[in-house]
Chains A and B, each alone.
Chain A
């Protein structure tokens, strides 16, 4: 039993560490993209189209991960893509967390008609296929970074709302809340100082998950050609472009796919790791 616990703890530690490292590296790439990337991500070289990555025959050492069909450097586009992906992840993730958690806290703590109203709204939202909803919103809002962020918030606030509402209800039933009420503390004070801090770990874990989802939504929208602009270096756009030339140049699809995979996996594992780290039972 004891050694079992120890190894679980070690495994959790490794998970947090590995995912954190990947996200850190990606964030640095995103931050310093213009300095790091070897080429202009938009520069086309029609004479160097579909060059394979460095280990294959016919590659050009100047293009480490090869080029796409328009002769743009895959590596540089990946690095600049990280910039867009991380901006969306950060802004959309935070905004979604704030909007959804607020509504969830209100519903879970106030109960009554506020709860009924918000819960009905969540039900209605859950009746839409999210991808369709997102595409529809982009059609309304127009393409561009801001539209994507707004669309993500509008679609995904329910994820936070549902979880935070349930958690706030749990916390409200606890003795420390009752004693705060008995002590005559104002409701707002109880909500902010007593309940919110206890719900925060859940919100943080969901937030990292949401960041991964935001990256995916951006990729899906770029894929359906509704994201930013057709040649902006987004991971989703690269995937869409790679999908069309998959038989001639698999690397144009495979590299952004791998990066997206690892990033999304890291976001979710990082969140899980954080949650376990802050879980008093496991600690």
Chain B
């Protein structure tokens, strides 16, 4: 009962946040100078043409009217028509979303693996030089944002040691059998590991850039809570049972130390997804973020709206999922 009420409350605040976000974006972009219709037509188009198209996209109505039309459309699953691409917004956005999700999830996996490994190494060799080195690495990793890491990776691995691709999502020369946009997932299902490998080689650099700051955060926080846990009585007790230090860390301390890190990963993962916008641009990766920047440059109002709402929805869903996982993993909450 308590859990159900908590979830309902969360859903309510979620909808408030989403509607708020929709309102903010809607009104901010209506103030954008520059006429998107004029940008879309060839130079020298007649005033009449511009007026006709403006009316077609409903841009001649008042802002409030436009918002109402848009909102009723959204409730019918209609997010309007992209001005620059002349297609319905939702299919466009949903077509790009999988690329961004795959990139973000890959980055998350890298961050968890690197951050987790660093935290465990740091605890295993606590109070030694190794731990100091890890602390320094964490400090640098935390201070430098993904944008700079991306550029550094481009210089190091794109130019000096060209082992990975630094542009695009997949080699254009390859024949694509895909029916969904989840290329990585589908290539595994189809057992096309050649394509899978090509995708990973394209994704690795942008994903790593996104992952480094998160890896540092995970490493720092997890190491700290592991170290606190290592002093607790039940950990000491399990040592006397004959377990090795590694076993004690992994199966006694880790499950309890992981919870605070987990809640943090939720928020940080939304930051990471926010980072894909510029990272996709840097690596010419055809995801939602790259499309978003184009949409802003083209003043494509319906498309911008659609993309921002999808991002906002994604963020709130992630936060909800993390909170629920937390409740499930914590025996104290589970039985409360």
Contact = CB atoms under 8 A, between A and B. Distances in A.
A and B touch in the complex (CB under 8 A): yes
Interface of A: 4, 120-121, 123-124, 126-132, 135-137, 139-140, 142, 212-213, 216, 219-220, 223-224, 239, 243, 246-247, 250, 253-254, 257, 260-261, 264-265, 267-269, 272
Contacts of A239: 151
A128 B158 contact: no
Interface in B72-88: none
A130 B289 CA distance: 11
Contact of B159 (A140, A246, A264): A246
Secondary structure at the A interface, as helix, strand, loop or mixed, is helix
A246 B296 contact: no
Contact of B278 (A120, A220, A246): A220
B139 A272 contact: yes
A142 B34 CA distance: 10
A257 B152 contact: yes
A15 to B, nearest CB: 8
* Centre residue among A123, A220, A267 by max chain B CB count within 10 A: A123
Contacts of B276: 129
B154 A140 contact: no
Interface stretch (B49-57, B115-123, B196-204, B308-316): B308-316
Contacts, number: 130
A124 B308 CA distance: 12
B24 interface: yes
A224 B293 contact: yes
Contact of A243 (B154, B160, B277, B297): B154
A-B pairs, top 4 by smallest CB distance, nearest first, are A129-B274, A268-B143, A127-B312, A124-B20
A143 B311 CA distance: 25
B107 to A, nearest CB: 14
A269 B17 contact: no
A124 B13 CA distance: 10
B296 A132 contact: yes
B144 A264 contact: yes
Interface in B4-18: 13, 16-18
A122 to B, nearest CB: 10
A264 B152 CA distance: 14
B139 A131 contact: no
B147 interface: yes
9 contacts: A127-B20, A127-B312, A135-B293, A213-B145, A243-B282, A246-B158, A253-B154, A265-B143, A265-B144
Nearest to B29: A136
Contacts of B28: 136-137, 140
Given A124-B24, A128-B311, A136-B296, A260 B148 contact: yes
Contact of B139 (A4, A120, A269): A269
B46 to A, nearest CB: 26
Given A139-B32, A253-B155, 9 more contacts: A124-B24, A129-B273, A137-B28, A139-B34, A239-B151, A246-B159, A247-B159, A268-B142, A269-B143
B281 interface: yes
B69 to A, nearest CB: 21
B233 interface: no
B312 to A, nearest CB: 4
Most interface-central of A135, A243, A253, A269 (chain B CB within 10 A): A135
B147 to A, nearest CB: 6
A257 B21 CA distance: 34
A127 B289 contact: no
Interface string B53-75: 00000000000000000000000
Chain B binding site: helix, strand, loop or mixed by DSSP?
Answer: helix
B273 A120 contact: no
A140 B31 contact: yes
Contacts of B308: 128-129, 132
B147 A216 contact: yes
B304 interface: yes
A218 to B, nearest CB: 11
A127 B142 contact: no
B30 to A, nearest CB: 9
A261 B299 CA distance: 32
Contact of A264 (B20, B145, B281): B145
B32 A220 contact: no
B208 interface: no
Contacts of B151: 239, 243, 253, 257
Pick from B144, B158, B270 the residue with the most CB of A within 10 Å.
Answer: B144
Contacts of B29: 136, 139-140
Contacts of A121: 20
A123 B32 CA distance: 24
A127 B311 contact: yes
A239 B278 CA distance: 14
A140 B32 contact: yes
B143 A224 contact: no
A91 to B, nearest CB: 20
B205 interface: no
A125 to B, nearest CB: 8
Given A137-B28, A239-B151, A246-B158, A129 B20 contact: no
Nearest to B315: A127
A195 to B, nearest CB: 26
Contacts of A264: 143-145, 148
B269 to A, nearest CB: 12
Contacts of A250: 155, 159-160
B17 A123 contact: yes
B240 to A, nearest CB: 24
A124 B24 CA distance: 9
B147 A120 contact: no
Contact of B289 (A129, A216, A243, A246): A129
